[in-house]
Each structure stands twice: as structure tokens, then as C-alpha cells.
Structure 1
Amino acid sequence: MALTDTFVRQVKAAGPGIQKYRDGEGMYLLVKPAGKYWRFDYRFNGTRKTAAFGTYPDVSLAKARQRRQEARTLLADGIDPSAAKREKKQESLLLGRQTFSAVANEWLEKTKSQRAVSTQEKVHGWLSRNVLPHIGNMPITQIKPRDVLLAVQRLEARGAIESAHRVKQLCGQVFRYAVAIGMVERDVTADLKGALVAIPQNHFAAITEPGEVAKLLRAIHGYAGHPYATSALKLSPLLFVRPGELRSAEWREIDLAAAEWRIPGTKMKMKNDHVVPLPSQATAILENLHPMTGHGKYVFPSIRTEDRCMSENTINACLRSLGFSKDVMTAHGFRAMARTILDEVLEERVDLIEHQLAHAVKDTNGRAYNRTAHLPARRLMMQRWADYLDTLRVGDDELQLRA
């Protein structure tokens, strides 16, 4: 006699044993003190087998009967229901590992050694906020170019044009990783070329006229802010590295005795190790700073916690407080300032300047120079540059008087 909803709901275990109540066609309800379980007995290739259909009340009587019918249909087609269930579960698990979110996280983990910790956090944040909520749960094999485009266009709609391009590039890196491990055939973001608004070509404001540079240097020399910020501000024109490279400098990278700062490739835009010769003026600034921050990791730690480096806005904030607007001078502008004056005023070799700016410089065979290329010549150039800045700031007469 077939079971009823009322009976299934009300039946209870009679003692510590197991009771079996049949519903017909091989399906029955097992009642135990721990709960109620749907089972289905069948034969496949002459062997008696049992399939589990779930527990009551999670699986109702009607749902259990539906699963029985599905199992009988499989048997009629010569398919073992239990084996089919296992395969379906494995496929589900595999799909779960093949979502864009899973592949992105795997790529982030595999490539994190190539990025600074702060960059890793930024990349993770960009993907988590702007991509994963929209396509993260989709199997990466099913994602089309339009799916990625719709995600990044949300950034574009907010006016974050540069971020939209950056996030699209990150998606492309995830897809290329998926190609490398054989999960997809191609990077679908390649089809999005020209689909986003072009990034406005904004050049970093910089002071490049020597007379104005002199005023800037005098203002910097008179700055009375926090010692960390003051030191970073004074080093900016002397070393003209990228602002992110300066603020994330670590004491282990700096050899004061050798007057060298060796920046690992993971921190560099071009991913190549870079050597910055330290002129005597820069060494003096670092020696004065060392008693304050030398016990920690960062040369310029955050004033809130030594576990992080100085904020990316610090140098620009110092310039603003000195009266230099963003249209006149920026932290990145020290690079343009050095590039222009070293070439046009001091007439230094262009290849040495490009090396010191950590730009891609290749030899006659098209090979990139290593980090120590022309180091003695660059060391002399950096000292001449620092001396020239002193001359601008205080004038020749006073320098000779001090000497």
C-alpha cells in the first residue's frame, strides 16, 4: 500500500531499531531514531543495489517519487542511477572549481610573488568589487566577451575610465592563465579592443624651468611637516623614482655603506630589478631617518601603523600644503623635472638618464640591459644632479662659502 503525506509526517521510530515502510516500485522510507531516510532498491547487471534519495522533510514524498521515476528511466536506458548520481556530483564539483571566481583566486595565489603586498591587495580588491559580483559564479568556459564588457562598463559609467581599462586587463590575465592550464581555448577579452572609452592622455604636472625649480627646492627645504614626510619629500627630487617605489622602500633594500638602493623587480613597473645610486645628500637624509624608522620594515612607515608604508597621497599633500597645486607640480612630476634638466641643462647622456628612470633601454642586439648597466657612470651623474639641485637652492656663492 502506497505511503501518504500524513503517515510520513507522523510516523516515529518504534524503539532503537529500524523500520521500513514501502511505497512501491522499490522505494521505501527508513525510520530510525536519528531521522527518516528515502531509499530505492534496484538491480543493475544482476547485482542488487540501493540508492539514497535524501532525508525527510528536506525531501518530500512527492520529491522522492520524482527521483524514483528518474532512476527507473535511467535503468530503462541501461544506466546505473547511483553511478549517474556520482558523475553528476563530480561534474558539479568540477564546475565549482571552474568558475571565474575560483580561477581568479587561483591566478592571484600563483602570481602573488610577482607583486608587492600592497599591489596584491589592490588587484584582489579591484576584482572582488568590480568583477566577481557579476561574473564570479559563472563557469569560465561559458563567459562571453559581452559578460566581461558589461562588468567593466559599470566602472566606465561612473567615470572611472582608467580603472575600467585596468580591470579589463586583469580579466584578460585571468583568462590567459585559464588558457595556460587548459581550461579555456582563448582569452575572450581580446575581442573587447576598442569597446571602452579611450583613457585621457593626462601628463603629470611638473616644474622644469630651473628658476622655478629653485623656488620649489627652497620651499621643500623649509617644509616643517612630519619627519617621515619631510624626508620623503626631500628625497623625491634627488632620486626621482616613481612615488610608489619611494614610499614602499624597505631598509633591507638600502645599503648606506655602499650608497645604493636596490629595488626588487616585484616593485618595479617594468618588473626588472633596479639600482638607485645614492648621492651624498640622499645618504645623509637616510642616515638621519634611520634612528626613527630603522627598527622596522619600511623606510617611510605609515604614522598609524608600521605594518604599512606611507600613504600614496602623502607627497602630493605636502606639495599642496606648500602652495603648489596639482596643475603645477605632482609627486610623479619630479621624474619629468629630472629628465628635462639632466638632458637640456646638464647635458647628461640620454641613455644614462633613461637607465636611471628605469625605462626600458636595449642594447644594439635588442636585449634589455641588466640592473647594473653603466652603474659607475650613473653614480657620478646622480651626484652631479644632487650638487646641481643644491646650487639651485642656495646659489653658488653660498656653497663656496660653506666649502
Structure 2
Amino acid sequence: MGELLNKLPAAKLQKSTELALWILLATCCRVGELLQAEWCDIDLKEGRWHIPVANAKNKKAHTVFLSPFAIKQFEALLEISGENRWCYPAENKKDMPIDKKSISKQVGDRQRQQPMKNRSKAVGTLMMTSGKWSPHDLRRTGATMMGSLGVRPDIIEKCLNHVEQKKLIRIYQRQELKEEQCQAWLLLGARLDLLVNAGATVVTQPRAA
């Protein structure tokens, strides 16, 4: 997938970590929401991922409508995690999910100039021309791509599971716009699939200083 896809082989990430990056980009979810996800909350046949209140940063349950691109990533992940309860099970702790900072640490290590002790030696392999980035930035990148595809800002906000900041709007406009959200994720997934197959460049959107 362009710059990111070209750099991944040299980064020598675990396959599950690579899949996490694509899932984050395709769903615009938060890193913690993915790493705490349970397979019982994901219906690959129906193409839906329910993020429960306990996992949502804003304590607001959320449903992600999975595009074929996102489903493909989850299916590959299922082959890795097997029968485990968690999508990302911890290796050394029984029946626990992976640490929420694990993916971010792996990506950060590969943007260092010098390796840390007992950490990856593949330093600099994930440094982008746009500068340093984190897995959370893929959420912003996905939202930006939705906007470039013509998705309305209010729909994007729904997909991001943001809480409306204006109190009157929050009180009086409670429509969920589920069909519009579904279409937004389908558009994003189709674009990602096209870019991956074409090798086009997708630039991550780094967080503001």
C-alpha cells in the first residue's frame, strides 16, 4: 500500500500487528478498542463489530459496519488467534488481551534512529516522508480519506463515535444515520482495496504539535 505497504517487509512486524494497522485504517477505531476486542463482538458474516461501553474511550457503545476489506483483515487475524476469546490475546497471560500500548511501541521502535535494548533492530523502517506517526494517526487518516470521498462531516463524526460537542444538537438530534455510516465504511474499504492493489501512496496524517 504505497509508502506504508512498501516499508512493511523491512519493518519485520508480526503478522497480527500488520493486520492491526489495516484494521485501524479501515474502521477508524481507536487502538485500545481493537486490542481489547473479543471475537464474540465481531460478526464477520453480517459484517458488524460491536464495541461495548467497557471498551469505548468515551463510554459510548458503537457499531462498526465492516467493509469487505476490513472483513478480510479480521479473517486473517482469526487464523492467527484461533479459538482464543480475544482478537489480540496476550502471549504470557492466561485469558487476557494484549497490552494496549503494544502496537504503538512496535511502530515507535521502528521510527527510532537507534534500537533500544531488547527491542527491534529494524529502526527507521517505518519512518514516513510525512514524519513520525503512531497507530492512532491511522484513525485520522481514515477519516480524512472518507472526507475526500465525499462523506459528510457529520457522518464521519458518527463513524468515529465522537460525542457531539454542542449540547442542543446532542439533545435534539439523535438520529444514528446507520445506513450513511455503513456506506461511508464501504467507500473507505473500496478505496483502500484499490490503493493496496495499485500500490498507490497513502500519507498518514500526523497529529498536530
Deviations 1:336-395 (A, max 9, x none): 21222322x21211111000101013785724637xx22222112112112212333332
- 1:215–1:393: 8 Å Cα contact kept in structure 2? no
Deviations 1:78-128 (A, max 9, x none): xxxxxxxxxxxxxxxxxxxxxxxxxxxxxxxxxxxxxxxxxxxxxxxxxxx
SS in 1 for 2:54: helix
| Partners of 1:312 and 1:324 in 2: CA distance | 22
Q: 2:18 aligns with which of 219, 230, 235?
A: 230
| Partners of 2:104 and 2:29 in 1: CA distance | 14
| Partners of 1:222 and 1:285 in 2: CA distance | 20
- 1:224–1:230: 8 Å Cα contact kept in structure 2? no
Cα deviation, residue 221, structure 1: 7.6
Q: Which structure dedicates a bigger proportion of its chain to helix?
A: 1
The alpha-carbon distance between structure 1 residues 333 and 224, as it changes in their structure 2 partners (threshold 3 A), is: same
- 1:247–1:309: 8 Å Cα contact kept in structure 2? yes
| Partners of 1:357 and 1:261 in 2: CA distance | 13
Cα deviation, residue 216, structure 1: 2.0
Structure 1 residue 239 corresponds to structure 2 residue 23: no
Cα deviation, residue 288, structure 1: 2.3
How many residues get paired?
Answer: 182
Q: 1:324 aligns with which of 106, 127, 135?
A: 127
| Partners of 2:131 and 2:96 in 1: CA distance | 29
Q: 1:355 aligns with which of 151, 154, 158?
A: 158
Written as runs of structure 1 = structure 2, the 5 A alignment for 1:201-280 is: 214-220=2-8, 224-280=12-68
| Partners of 1:391 and 1:346 in 2: CA distance | 13
| Partners of 1:278 and 1:395 in 2: CA distance | 22
- 2:69–2:192: 8 Å Cα contact kept in structure 1? no
Specify the code of the residue in structure 1 equivalent to 2:140: A
4+ residue runs of structure 1 moved beyond 4 angstroms?
220-224, 362-365
- 2:146–2:187: 8 Å Cα contact kept in structure 1? no
- 1:303–1:310: 8 Å Cα contact kept in structure 2? yes
- 1:298–1:306: 8 Å Cα contact kept in structure 2? no
Specify the code of the residue in structure 2 equivalent to 1:309: P
Structure 1 residue 394 corresponds to structure 2 residue 197: yes
- 1:301–1:310: 8 Å Cα contact kept in structure 2? yes
- 1:228–1:301: 8 Å Cα contact kept in structure 2? no
Cα deviation, residue 327, structure 1: 5.4
Q: Which structure dedicates a bigger proportion of its chain to strand?
A: 1
Q: 1:152 — aligned with what?
A: none
| Partners of 1:375 and 1:332 in 2: CA distance | 24
Identity %: 24
| Partners of 2:45 and 2:72 in 1: CA distance | 11
| Partners of 1:289 and 1:317 in 2: CA distance | 20
- 1:259–1:278: 8 Å Cα contact kept in structure 2? yes
Q: 2:182 aligns with which of 379, 384, 399?
A: 379
Q: 2:204 — aligned with what?
A: none
Specify the code of the residue in structure 2 equivalent to 1:291: E
TM-score by length of 1: 0.41
Written as runs of structure 1 = structure 2, the 5 A alignment for 1:2-401 is: 214-220=2-8, 224-320=12-108, 321=110, 322-324=125-127, 328-343=132-147, 345-361=148-164, 364=169, 366-367=171-172, 369=174, 373-395=176-198
Specify the code of the residue in structure 2 equivalent to 1:335: R
Cα deviation, residue 229, structure 1: 1.9
